[in-house]
Amino acid sequence: MNRFLLALSIALIVVIDQAADAAQVKAYDIVINPHGASLAAYQVELIAEDTHARIVGVEGGDHPAFRKAPYYDPEALETGRIVIAAFDTGADLPAQPTRIATVHMIEPDKCDCGYALDLTVAVDPDGNDIDADIELLPVEGETR
């Protein structure tokens, strides 16, 4: 009986280990370049192209105006699509490229996952649209 339990435990450990290996955790910085204009509010939609990639977390950015975690729908967690947004009514706003958020993903093992990123709102302190670019940058060393 003890040998049976030992064999069962080993089998379970192997299965769990293989399951853990079947996915990788990755983080991506979302960077907005407002090209010299003050960025007061943004809204971004991120969609994973691989249907098995899942969003597991969102954190705020570098600049004090966007350091707090942005608004997002909690229903987006564990799916591959999210809309994130934030604003700041203060005077200290980023005008140079800045990380506005980081998203944490679980991706299938060895997936070279692609993402569609759409900057739907980027406005200055008066609410006017600004010409801004957006980038998704993998965070080095965050894969495991």
Partner 1 sequence: MQGAPVQLTCLERDDVDNNGDVDIRDAFMLAKAIETKGDHELARDIEGDAHLDMDDVDRIACQAVDLGRNG
Question: Where does this chain bind partner 1 (CB under 8 A)?
Answer: 40-43, 45, 71-73, 75-76, 79, 81-87, 89, 120-121, 123, 125, 127
Least Å distance between CB 80 and partner 1?
A: 11
Least Å distance between CB 107 and partner 1?
A: 20
Least Å distance between CB 52 and partner 1?
A: 18
Identify which of residues 40 and 105 has a Cβ nearer to partner 1 in the complex.
Answer: 40
Identify which of residues 24 and 42 has a Cβ nearer to partner 1 in the complex.
Answer: 42
Identify which of residues 43 and 139 has a Cβ nearer to partner 1 in the complex.
Answer: 43
Least Å distance between CB 98 and partner 1?
A: 16
Task: Find the radius of gyration of the CA atoms of the chain.
Answer: 20
Query: Cα separations (Å) of 102 from 3, 62, 63?
Result: 48, 10, 13
What is the rounded distance in angstroms from the CA atom of residue 68 to the CA atom of residue 22? Answer: 32
Question: CB of 39 within 8 A of CB of 132?
Answer: yes
- Helical (H) or strand (E) element with 4: helix 2-21
Question: CB of 71 within 8 A of CB of 84?
Answer: yes
